[in-house]
Structure 1
């Protein structure tokens, strides 16, 4: 794998579709963190050169915020970055990180705690997940999704509900890209028996899952109702963010604010949970048979 100065991440990703600013922010943050650490500077010392506080430097290095170009130039000077190609690459990353993703136009219907996940989905190389309540959003049919949306937002005007549905449809486009991410989901059987929108809609949703499971980049496993769930009572999403450049990230939904975790120990723990669930779930070919059976029972 080349260095960031040798290859431009945005160009390298273009064949797969524009990942939006999320990947560029993450790559820029990771690069700046390595530069700071190799310079032996604390976040406070680095921030002083760019009129940024330690917390702002930490947010920038996590990829949680964009970087002003003037601040980036100051940081490059403080870190002793003299290679012009590397400085140009960092500036290009910063410019792309400042561009709004398509989801910015839907900030009225995307909660602030959920917005990072939408961006990360666009940039991930592999998305693994476990869902206990309903079919994962990336695999929902429009009519099933409408039933799920009505369940939580039924009092909203029809126009707002339709915008929520538009967001889901646009999220799902990553699965049809020229180079889509791998999607590997484990779905609790109880979620597949919950007739959101009615039995005919659930039947068509199950048929859709069967069709999607035939695609080479999508793996679907069904966790039998009798199987034990290892500390996994809430949905989990693990995003592979390009090994060797970025830490993987876990989105852990729970009562209250959702959490985004990228610490090695935390990510490892959740990966082990997903691995154990995958072992306890039916194999992909058997899961397809289970989906057929559940559809016949409706």
Structure 2
């Protein structure tokens, strides 16, 4: 007698990382169940009145879930235990809920909403920043200064020219709140690890003034002591680097079926690269930067010295 397929427990911390992470986890469950039964994506797709492509989207967490589809797939995969079925259906429905960033959607372009979901779902975040402290490591005051500079080139300028000051400060405050809220993924159990390489210029650019800059660097020193955060400084003495003039972020996911992504943010849009050639190039560049940069321990000393000089 064949044992009934059992669902793998989904870590409770996954839900705290947002609906994208939860969709990926649910999709991974569905894929494991399907493969355990030896059922092809085409057969599974036909069973739910769809196609193999639909099954692929469901298993990769790239689309929301319909309760009927989940119920039908569980039946096809031989999951009859009521408790198991209810558990996965509940998780799938929860994965359909808006992310925490939904209340800021009046401030967010669609391309950045997409990134926030992927960032929370990632297992590893590797980033190189040549100009500013990465958003996940910014203090509130530093973020406020960055937002203020960026806001000068936005709708706020046009409103100010029309004498419409009301509401500008509120929106700026919400943008800072969004940045600090985003950082909570670093404190969630099972959340992503962060590996950041910063050009030394980041430590010397007085964003927000001396006091703000000093506090920001001290925050970097503190964050660098956390076990899931690695910070390296690409010092001036290292000379030129392969990523000169460019900042980028690489996301890696726990599910082996999900390709790594390279995220390149621009002024009015962003690029998501996932071709084999692009990923190979950016991995090589990231690895070379990590070797070229100061070690995490030496970087911590360099950052502490920079803060002390301010």
Post-superposition Cα deviations, 1:131-183, rounded to whole Å, max 9, x if no partner, equal 12210111101111011111112353111111111111111122334555322
CA distance 1:178–1:57, shift in 2 (3 Å)? closer
Q: Secondary structure at the match of 1:201?
A: helix
In the alignment, does 2:193 pair up with 1:182?
yes
Q: Is the 8 A contact 2:217 2:304 kept in 1?
A: yes
Post-superposition Cα deviations, 1:13-51, rounded to whole Å, max 9, x if no partner, equal 33x772221112113334555638953445xx7656545
2:253 pairs with one of 238, 241, 251: 241
Residue ranges of structure 1 left out of the alignment (5+ in a row): none
1:115-126 aligned within 5 A: 115-126=113-124
CA distance 1:204–1:128, shift in 2 (3 Å)? same
CA RMSD of aligned residues (A): 3.2
Kindly report structure 1 stretches of 4+ aligned residues shifted beyond 6 Å.
Answer: none
Equivalent-residue separation in structure 2 for 1:107 and 1:55 (angstroms): 29
Deviation of 1:266 (Å): 4.8
1:230 pairs with one of 242, 246, 256: 242
In the alignment, does 2:82 pair up with 1:81?
no
Deviation of 1:235 (Å): 2.8
Aligned twin of 2:285: 273
TM, length-normalised to structure 2: 0.78
Q: Is the 8 A contact 2:8 2:29 kept in 1?
A: no
Q: Is the 8 A contact 1:234 1:254 kept in 2?
A: no
Deviation of 1:186 (Å): 0.5
Equivalent-residue separation in structure 2 for 1:221 and 1:182 (angstroms): 14
Aligned twin of 2:177: 166
Deviation of 1:269 (Å): 4.1
Q: Is the 8 A contact 2:248 2:265 kept in 1?
A: no
Aligned twin of 1:7: 8
Residue ranges of structure 2 left out of the alignment (5+ in a row): 157-167
TM, length-normalised to structure 1: 0.81
Q: Is the 8 A contact 2:41 2:55 kept in 1?
A: no
Equivalent-residue separation in structure 1 for 2:191 and 2:44 (angstroms): 38
CA distance 1:199–1:127, shift in 2 (3 Å)? same
Deviation of 1:124 (Å): 3.1
Equivalent-residue separation in structure 1 for 2:51 and 2:147 (angstroms): 40
Aligned twin of 2:151: 153
Q: Secondary structure at the match of 1:63?
A: coil
Aligned twin of 1:28: 26
